[in-house]
Amino acid sequence: MGDRSEKGLVKHKRRSTISGDAAGAHQKTLSGQVKEKEQSQRPRHDTPANKHKNHRDAGDHDFSCHKLQESLLSSDSGYSNYRGILNWCVVMLVLSNARLVLENLIKYGVLVDPIQIISLFLKDPYSWPAPCLIIVSNVFIMAAFYIERKLSVGIISEGTGTFLHCINLAALLFVPAGTVLSLTSITPVGSVLALSVFTILFLKLYSYRDVNKWCREIRQAKARTLSRSQSCPSVHKANGPTEYTHVSYPANLTHRDMYYFIFVPTLCYDLNFPRSRRIRKRFLLRRLLEMVFLMQLMLGLMQQWMVPTIQNSMKPFQDMDFSRIVERLLKLAVPNHFIWLIFFYWYFHSSMNFVAELMRFGDREFYRDWWNSETIPYFWSNWNIPVHKWCLRHFYKPMLVKGVNKLSAQLAVFFLSAFFHEYLVSVPLKMFRFWAFLGMMAQIPLAYLVGRFLRGNYGNAAVWMSLIIGQPIAVLMYVHDYYVLHYESTAA
Ligand SMILES: CC(C)(COP(=O)(O)OP(=O)(O)OC[C@H]1O[C@@H](n2cnc3c(N)ncnc32)[C@H](O)[C@@H]1OP(=O)(O)O)[C@@H](O)C(=O)NCCC(=O)NCCS
């Protein structure tokens, strides 16, 4: 930096000599401004050039070149600009992975096959069970909607409404699970997609029911106070001309409002969602291109990198060769982690922003800075904000308000989350092994250990380690069991 500012000064000096007196005066002012700007842009830490100048200003001897100072890399120096080191890490990462790519291509050739991907979604081109299941989900959406409508006008009691909602929500989980388990024409990937849609609907309709119930409670409380003061304007009238911009209960109970909520990227219902003013077409296009490109990249990496690594891991598992299992696990960890990171960006940034932009949905906080997590709870509260918000609003806080202690409430949230993780893996694979469930529940002791023994950067490294190593363990467990169940039994 010091060098650069000095060079800048020399350049300006030369210009003023060339352009003569008047222009020179002008240039001087200009160069003065530039100099001021450059000084204000300088980093706060002392570079050797800065320090030298400071000494001259302080009236020290010009020729003195030593002073009391720490080496840059010692922590007492206060130096913190490691941008170059970060770039070095990126260059090393690219180089080492270029070698891996080459090794992979030499060993396996090109395995990427876009046509084969279709077979992951469809077994038979004449039968599309997963999309059919998703279309059927409208029945449950309409059931929740009409239950709320009946409740709003008092045709059914709160108790009956709660009972009907429970049946509807239970059916939302059991009907698709039963269909997937009984159908042979559905693929595991198609099942995961269908069950994910149903799980999202379950959480959304639970929230829809809760919020409308809260609105009824507020309406009843207001009606009680108003009847005491002998004046009771209708809710509709009170809204007046602002009805369209600010909806009040029960004016929200329309098909349009219900389907808007179903499509927007949030799990928590609100009567009035924040809306952006217009659709930004360039933003939309960028997100769409990212979605298409990253999807292809993920599928390509899975075919080329992950599948052969998993296939090569089966033998060490059969032989129970522990050191080879660990070696395979570490090998799988790298592609698995890359694909997970790409998935994060694809899903939480590109796709959610795309849908939000299209629906003019204003709240774009889909994730926070989970990559800086120094504790496990921080990670879980920041990486998937829609799920975290739902957990807080509809499960965790209601439990705390009812007097449940914090630890039990947290345990209950993780138990629910573990259930859904297992549901989304075991049912599509038609194999109940509980690895996903245990993986999620293991977060609680892990959170305790990390919080108790590790701080700062060590805590952050522990969170990264748990992500990089934890996931491939679960992947290998499921693949191994799936392999034993489907291929070894047929070979025997
Ligand atoms: C369990 C979980 C909800 C805890 O979240 P947390 O942020 O650590 O919880 P905290 O105890 O700090 O409290 C959070 C909120 O509850 C409030 N709260 C705390 N004690 C309360 C009480 N006794 N009564 C009412 N509110 C209370 C806090 O004020 C805070 O409110 P705010 O968010 O409006 O500031 C979170 O870890 C989580 O979401 N886990 C599961 C995540 C998951 O499974 N994700 C799946 C992704 S695939």
Query: How many whole angstroms from 396 Cα to the centroid of ligand 1?
Result: 6
337 lies in a domain?
A: yes
Catalytic residue among 388, 421, 480, 486: 421
Tokens read off for 393? 């609003």
| Residues 292/354, Cβ–Cβ less than 8 Å | no
Tokens read off for 123? 């077994």
Which residues are CB-contacts of 373 (< 8 A; sequence separation ≥ 6)? 379, 382, 459, 460, 463
Residue 54 confidence (pLDDT): 52
Residue 10 confidence (pLDDT): 38
How far apart, in whole angstroms, are the C-alpha atoms of residue 120 and residue 234? 55
* pLDDT digits 0-9 by tens, 54-74: 555 545 567 888 988 999 888
Domain ends where: 230, 265, 288? 230
Tokens read off for 13? 């000096």
Atom of ligand 1 nearest to the CA of 409: 1
Of 98, 117, 114, nearest to 106 by C-alpha is: 98
Do residues 449 and 470 both lie within one domain?
yes
Do residues 116 and 216 both lie within one domain?
yes
How far apart, in whole angstroms, are the C-alpha atoms of residue 36 and residue 9? 11
Residue 489 confidence (pLDDT): 58
Q: How many helices (H) and strands (E) does the chain have?
A: 22, 0
Q: Is 421 near ligand 1, meaning CB less than 6 Å away? A: no
Query: How many whole angstroms from 484 Cα to the centroid of ligand 1?
Result: 40
Q: Which residue, by CA, sits nearest to atom 11 of ligand 1?
A: 406
Radius of gyration of the chain (CA): 30
Beta-bridge partners for 345:
none
Q: Is 410 near ligand 1, meaning CB less than 6 Å away? A: yes
Do residues 346 and 387 both lie within one domain?
no
Which residues are CB-contacts of 77 (< 8 A; sequence separation ≥ 6)? 69, 70, 71
Query: How many whole angstroms from 400 Cα to the centroid of ligand 1?
Result: 10
| Residues 462/454, Cβ–Cβ less than 8 Å | yes
| pTM for this predicted structure | 0.80
Q: Is 381 near ligand 1, meaning CB less than 6 Å away? A: yes
Q: Is 396 near ligand 1, meaning CB less than 6 Å away? A: yes
How far apart, in whole angstroms, are the C-alpha atoms of residue 54 and residue 48? 10
Do residues 218 and 166 both lie within one domain?
yes
Query: How many whole angstroms from 464 Cα to the centroid of ligand 1?
Result: 22
1 lies in a domain?
A: no
Domain ends where: 365, 391, 421? 365
Total domains in the chain come to 3
Do residues 211 and 160 both lie within one domain?
yes
Q: Is 392 near ligand 1, meaning CB less than 6 Å away? A: yes
How far apart, in whole angstroms, are the C-alpha atoms of residue 258 and residue 208? 9
Beta-bridge partners for 361:
275
Do residues 431 and 357 both lie within one domain?
no
Q: Identity (one letter) of the amino acid at 312?
A: N
Does the annotation mark 421 as catalytic? yes
How far is the first Cα of the chain from the last one, in angstroms, to the nearest whole number? 70
Domain ends where: 333, 365, 397? 365
Q: Is 388 near ligand 1, meaning CB less than 6 Å away? A: yes
Q: Is 413 near ligand 1, meaning CB less than 6 Å away? A: yes
73 lies in a domain?
A: no
Tokens read off for 140? 């449950």
Query: How many whole angstroms from 417 Cα to the centroid of ligand 1?
Result: 14
Which residues are CB-contacts of 97 (< 8 A; sequence separation ≥ 6)? none
Do residues 381 and 342 both lie within one domain?
no
Beta-bridge partners for 127:
124
Do residues 394 and 492 both lie within one domain?
yes
Q: Spell out a b/e string for 191-230, using b for 16 or more CB atoms within 10 Å of the CB, else e.
A: bbbbbbbbbbbbbbbbbbbbbbbebbeeeeeeeeeeeeee
Do residues 355 and 371 both lie within one domain?
no
321 lies in a domain?
A: yes
Of 324, 323, 322, 303, nearest to 313 by C-alpha is: 324
Q: Is 377 near ligand 1, meaning CB less than 6 Å away? A: yes
Residue 350 confidence (pLDDT): 97
Do residues 450 and 472 both lie within one domain?
yes
Q: Which of 383, 413, 466 to mutate to test the pocket of ligand 1 (most atoms within 8 A of CB)?
A: 413
Phi and psi at 34, nearest 5°, equal -60, -45
Atom of ligand 1 nearest to the CA of 388: 39
Ramachandran area for residue 47 (φ above 0: left; ψ -120 to 50: alpha; else beta): beta
Do residues 177 and 209 both lie within one domain?
yes
Query: How many whole angstroms from 22 Cα to the centroid of ligand 1?
Result: 68
Do residues 394 and 357 both lie within one domain?
no
Residue 228 confidence (pLDDT): 59
Q: Which range of residues forms the domain containing residue 210?
A: 106-230
Residues constituting the chain: 492
Tokens read off for 473? 């363990």
Regions of the chain where pLDDT drops below 50: 1-49, 52, 58, 231-244
Atom of ligand 1 nearest to the CA of 383: 47
47 lies in a domain?
A: no
262 lies in a domain?
A: no
Burial of 427 (0-12, 13-18, 19+ CB in 10 A): buried
39 lies in a domain?
A: no
How far apart, in whole angstroms, are the C-alpha atoms of residue 327 and residue 313? 9
Of 84, 390, 269, nearest to 398 by C-alpha is: 390
Residue 245 confidence (pLDDT): 64
Of 267, 285, 270, 252, nearest to 357 by C-alpha is: 285
Of 336, 299, 329, nearest to 314 by C-alpha is: 329
287 lies in a domain?
A: yes
Q: Is 375 near ligand 1, meaning CB less than 6 Å away? A: no
Q: Is 140 helix (H, G, I), strand (E, B) or coil?
A: helix
